[in-house]
């Protein structure tokens, strides 16, 4: 971590952590009305920078939220915030809220969207979890359906994910599997899901309720480059229970193996060979590619 005090970007200015504030009338606070991205940077390079900027604009468009800067300008703001904090490795939380308005649901009373960027360090899981694997449990809370709030929108309304996290932690697990309304596997509380069975790699379709994960897409490409077959399918808990290997992908988690799910040992109960290969390929990619910050 840099010795520089944390500086947070809010609507064109940088503020210390203690002085970074938004209005209590901001619709992001009042109604979860906004979108966000989690972005990683390594060795002075932002990983999948353009893809994250593209996705937040897609999420904003889906909820009829106008981001008050261009894609290029928003990307530059992210880079400037990392520079301001003098960081080489870390995590960015990019947030666009509807902005301050009045009490009441109407988004048209908010004059202008607000942009907030936090750049800091992150360590979601200790290194031993990448060697031994996580413990998973099924959550009672279901993933929102496409006819309610589309799972493709990375919105500030994350309460279902939070409740699912509470449930899996209460069960003694570190991550939770969320099902869709039909009982098919969607994703975890913050990660996409992959399994390996007989040398073939499977992942739930986005129609099942999973996010269009950027790390998910990167890993799919790595899988195919390595010569493995990849299938996107509807997946049940049975498929996870009987998998040879199970691993999760996400911006913060990267690629992390699973050792146990619902008290059932996955494969040998440790990181499988294909998962280990993909972890290595992913780490090599993040260390050697990305948009230069400095």
Query: Would you say how long the chain is, in residues?
Result: 294
Separation of alpha carbons 170 and 156, rounded Å = 24
The one catalytic residue among 21, 154, 263, 265: 154
Most distant CA atoms of the chain, gap in Å = 57
Q: Is 21 a catalytic residue?
A: no
Separation of alpha carbons 170 and 177, rounded Å = 13
The total of other beta-carbon atoms located within 10 Å of residue 46's CB is 21
In DSSP terms, 194 is beta-bridged to 247
Joined tokens for residue 40: 């990683």
Separation of alpha carbons 276 and 259, rounded Å = 13
Three-state DSSP state, 286: helix
Q: Which residues are catalytic?
A: 154
């Amino acid at each position: 971590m840099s010795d520089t005090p944390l500086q947070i970007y809010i609507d064109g200015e940088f503020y210390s952590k203690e002085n970074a504030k938004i209005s209590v009338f901001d619709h992001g606070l009042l109604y979860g009305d906004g979108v966000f991205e989690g972005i990683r940077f390594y060795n002075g390079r932002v990983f999948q920078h353009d893809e994250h900027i593209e996705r937040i604009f897609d999420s904003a468009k889906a909820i009829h939220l106008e981001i008050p800067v261009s894609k290029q300008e928003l990307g530059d703001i992210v880079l400037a915030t990392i520079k301001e904090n003098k960081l080489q490795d870390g995590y960015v939380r990019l947030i666009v809220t509807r902005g301050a308005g009045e009490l009441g649901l109407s988004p048209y009373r908010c004059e202008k969207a607000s942009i907030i960027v936090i750049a800091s360090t992150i360590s979601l899981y200790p290194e031993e979890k990448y060697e031994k694997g996580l413990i998973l449990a099924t959550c009672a809370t279901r993933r929102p359906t496409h006819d309610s709030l589309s799972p493709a929108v990375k919105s500030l309304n994350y309460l279902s994910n939070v409740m699912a996290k509470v449930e899996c932690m209460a069960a003694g697990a570190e991550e939770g599997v969320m099902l869709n309304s039909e009982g098919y596997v969607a994703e975890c509380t913050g990660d996409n899901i992959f399994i390996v069975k007989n040398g073939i790699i499977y992942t739930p379709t986005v129609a099942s309720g999973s996010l269009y994960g950027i790390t998910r897409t990167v890993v799919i490409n790595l899988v195919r480059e390595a010569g493995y077959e990849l299938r996107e399918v509807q997946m049940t808990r049975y498929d996870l229970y009987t998998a040879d290997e199970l691993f999760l992908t996400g911006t913060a988690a990267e690629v992390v193996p699973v050792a146990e799910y619902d008290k059932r040992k996955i494969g040998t109960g440790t990181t499988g060979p294909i998962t280990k290969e993909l972890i290595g390929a992913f780490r090599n990619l993040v260390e050697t590619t990305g948009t230069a910050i400095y």
